[in-house]
């Protein structure tokens, strides 16, 4: 878990993962959309690849990066026992809101 947190603590890596949720993207697209330098984007992508968060596929001269969601399962499993803390509060809020009169 410490390795996962050490990797994901970096905001640009989280931004890259968020961007890759939409599908495969080249380094150039990541640089353009996220406003990173090419060396910085490549460095973050290498770290994410080594940790198993992304996979890369060669397409002629381009490398296409894709999110590897299985790597996030460890984080998801760690969060599971904590979900009840916010789920209970959200349920309580929903019940409270259901008791309020509509302002139609």
pLDDT in tens, 4-24: 899 999 999 999 999 999 999
Q: What's the rounded Cα separation, in Å, for the pair 21 and 30?
A: 12
Residue 104, pLDDT above cutoff 80: no
How high is the pLDDT of residue 84?
82
Residue 68 lies in a domain: yes
For residue 46, the domain's CATH number is 1.10.10.10
- HEC-encoded secondary structure of 2-65: HHHHHHHCCHHHHHHHHHHCCCCEEHHHHHHHHCCCHHHHHHHHHHHHHCCCEEEEEECCEEEE
Q: What is the arithmetic mean of pLDDT over 35-41?
A: 96
- 12 phi and psi, to 5 degrees? -70, -30
Residue 58 lies in a domain: yes
Does the predicted model carry a pTM greater than 0.85? no
Higher per-residue pLDDT: 1 or 61: 61
Higher per-residue pLDDT: 89 or 39: 39
Q: What's the rounded Cα separation, in Å, for the pair 42 and 48?
A: 10
Residue 104 lies in a domain: no
For residue 47, give its domain range.
Answer: 2-99
Residue 94 lies in a domain: yes
Residue 34, pLDDT above cutoff 90: yes
Residue with tokens 């509509």: 102
pLDDT in tens, 54-66: 999 988 888 999 9
């Amino acid at each position: 878990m410490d390795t996962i947190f050490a990797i994901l603590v970096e905001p640009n890596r989280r931004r890259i993962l968020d961007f890759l949720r939409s599908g495969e993207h080249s380094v150039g697209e990541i640089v353009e959309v996220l406003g990173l330098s090419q060396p910085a984007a490549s460095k973050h992508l290498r770290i994410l690849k080594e940790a198993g968060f992304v996979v890369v596929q060669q397409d002629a001269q381009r490398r296409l990066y894709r999110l590897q969601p299985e790597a996030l399962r460890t984080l998801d499993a760690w969060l599971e026992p904590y979900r009840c803390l916010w789920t209970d509060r959200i349920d309580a809020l929903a019940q409270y809101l259901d008791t309020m009169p509509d302002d139609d």
